[in-house]
Amino acid sequence: MTLITAVLCTALATTACTGDNGNGVPVTGTTTTRATAAPTPPPALTRSQARDAITNYSKINNVARASHDRALLDTVEGGPRYAMSLADLKQDQALPKGREPYRPWAYNLAATDLYIPRLGPGEQRWFAAVTRAGSKKQYARVLILAEEARSKGWEMVATIDLDDPQDLPEIVLDEDGYATAVDAASKTLATPVGVLRSAVVDNFVTGGQSTGRKLLAATAPARRQIKVHDETSRKFGPKGTSRFATTPTEFTDAYALKTTSGAFVVFSHTHTQHDAATAPGLQIVPEKEDRAWLGTRPSPVFVYRFTCSDAAAVPDAPGRSRLLGYGCRRTDAQAPAPSISL
């Protein structure tokens, strides 16, 4: 009976069973089941595939840039990176003849660190890389490549130069060398990406007086944004006004990796610049790069649109985030009616 009871107790995993201890004393026990560990998500791609994606980008980018082939460039770029490249091509073609020819180049894979996250089913596949250049590897650029949903090809969606490579936070890697993706909008971070984006835009719009200085540490990139605001707002003196304004972000995707103190976040923002002559009879003459968008005809009012990519270290404990680098391109410009609200 003792043996039979023991077998039955093993079989009835979710119920209590009663037997005796061999001395006629009843015993009651409840069996428990051990939870099965969730399977580890696979990496977005292998390291070899990631290096191939970067190499392919460099190759196609060179051909497309040299021939101003926008459709070809679209096969290896997306998001804010593609918008910026289109702007570069438009401005380049508008410059006078005799401009320097395009010089092919490529990322040095031997000086590139890969940060490939593990991703679950249904999540967009992407990875980050930090490539270094210079005689002492003193220059660093963050790359974000993502899989295009329809073609399944890999596209460069963001590139940001870091002001100081030493500021790159320590990205957590598992025992196999893979990173952990983080929800950039998570409230477990001191500055979720929506708030982070607003703080960066505030640096341009108010010089950081609203949220920029409060939420962002005074890093070199953050100070430079505030300097852009200060210098732009007084460039016309008493003859005109120039101010930045918020506008809905065109590219809302954000990419974040777990660090030892929070997350490393790459995101995009958009802002506009409104220039206007204030004295009667005065008009603004487009500068050389502006002519690709506006021609040569002066106007009392111009509005420019900028697309930007930003990289920041965000803590998971209360504290200010650190803007580590950013880059912007003028991606549109118009000469609206003078009655525009300024």
Direct distance between the N- and C-terminal alpha carbons of the chain, in angstroms, rounded to an integer: 92
Per-residue model confidence (pLDDT) at position 38: 65
Nearest to 266 by CA among 177, 171, 188, 176: 171
Around Cβ 234, how many Cβ atoms within 10 Å?
11
Per-residue model confidence (pLDDT) at position 3: 39
What does pTM read for this prediction?
0.86
Per-residue model confidence (pLDDT) at position 118: 96
In tens, the pLDDT along 153-190 reads 999 999 999 999 999 999 999 999 999 999 999 999 99
User: Which alpha helices (H) appear in the chain, and where do they start and end?
Assistant: 2-11, 47-67, 70-73, 79-94, 193-206, 212-215, 220-233, 291-294
CB-CB contact of 187 with 262 (8 Å): no
Per-residue model confidence (pLDDT) at position 26: 44
Per-residue model confidence (pLDDT) at position 69: 96
Low-confidence ranges of the chain (pLDDT < 50): 1-33, 339-342
Q: Which residues contact 78 (CB under 8 A, 6 or more apart)?
A: 146, 148, 155, 156, 157
In tens, the pLDDT along 110-148 reads 999 999 999 998 899 999 999 999 988 899 999 999 999
Residue 267 backbone phi and psi in degrees, to 5? -150, 175
